[in-house]
Structure 1
Amino acid sequence: MTRMLIIGPPGSGKGTQASRISERLGVVAISTGDIFRENVKNETPLGVEAKKYMDAGDFVPDSVTNSMVRARLTEDDVQDGFLLDGYPRTAAQVTELDDILQQNDLTLDVVLQLTADDEELVRRLLGRARLDGRTDDNEVVIRHRLDLYHEQTEVVVSQYEARGIVTRVDGIGAIDEVTERVMSALKVTQ
């Protein structure tokens, strides 16, 4: 049974590694992006509220995000473990996640941090933007996203480092190589 977070900068391969880890460990991968999209699609009260912010290009407030994550972490499929991607992103969200877990008699086992050099990430994201035809992902936007990630994440990582549960893995390289580094760091055998 594993309960873990995966964090890393944009372009570090979090989504890819989350699905591979989920499959290998037999735990559900939960992405806050997926939670948002599901709530918006189903027009839940939280989804309707979140959509207002998303449509305006604003961050969805912690109160809405926390409520969505709280609801998702009470579903039956997380009792045997989960991998949470995209949450928490702020110190307040760390406190909220602690509260959610405590209320459900759950603990967090590990925080996996994928690391990568910013210049490599810029190259990777620019290449991805060209392939996907995403003209909005230019170098200025990408560097801004990376700056935001570093600002937000340092405080989150430091809180989990104080608990001794952060494991860092280099996210640069072939997908299979990164997966094997992750599994080795998590001490998962075939």
Structure 2
Amino acid sequence: MGKIVLYLAVSVDGYIADEQGGVDWLGGDGSQPDASGSYPDFYKTVDAIVMGWSTYHRIVTQLSPGSWPYEGRPCYVVTHRQQANQEGICFWNGELTALMDKLKAEYTGNIWICGGALVAGQLLKEACIDRMWLSVIPVVLGKGIRLFPDELPQALPLKLVDTQQSNGIVDLIYEKR
């Protein structure tokens, strides 16, 4: 059975994007410019990817137009839009928890929640996230798109299972208790 893993970069003050959804601020402090960080090793553990429409749209129009960066991994885009599936990309407009149940049963590796504050927030509210891997970027944005929703129905106790550091970026890896 797969694990649902929220793996995201976040500013020191808890934002995953600036006010326009931009991520130009992602990067370390320059102390280890050749360091690859945790992403390459994490990505090797990923069996499937889940993201919201805004994340998908930013990838295909700005971050990687013309070249899908997750080739070879099935990707599920959570959206209310009626969109035709593409090779390797399924547009999901059903219940998010039903998708998580389906993917956990289908895959043995990690199911990566790649982006979207709305997707992450809904999964947090439903206590569906098994592991939270936050790469804290050394920047304070002051405003933008927050990772966590304003309200959760209850506290979500976590257990710190690992930390990593590279180029000024600190990875905090938690599992739900």
Using the size of structure 2 for normalisation, the TM-score is 0.42
TM-score normalized by structure 1?
A: 0.40
Which structure would you say has the larger RCO, counting Cα contacts within 8 Å and 6 or more residues apart? 2
More strand by share: 2
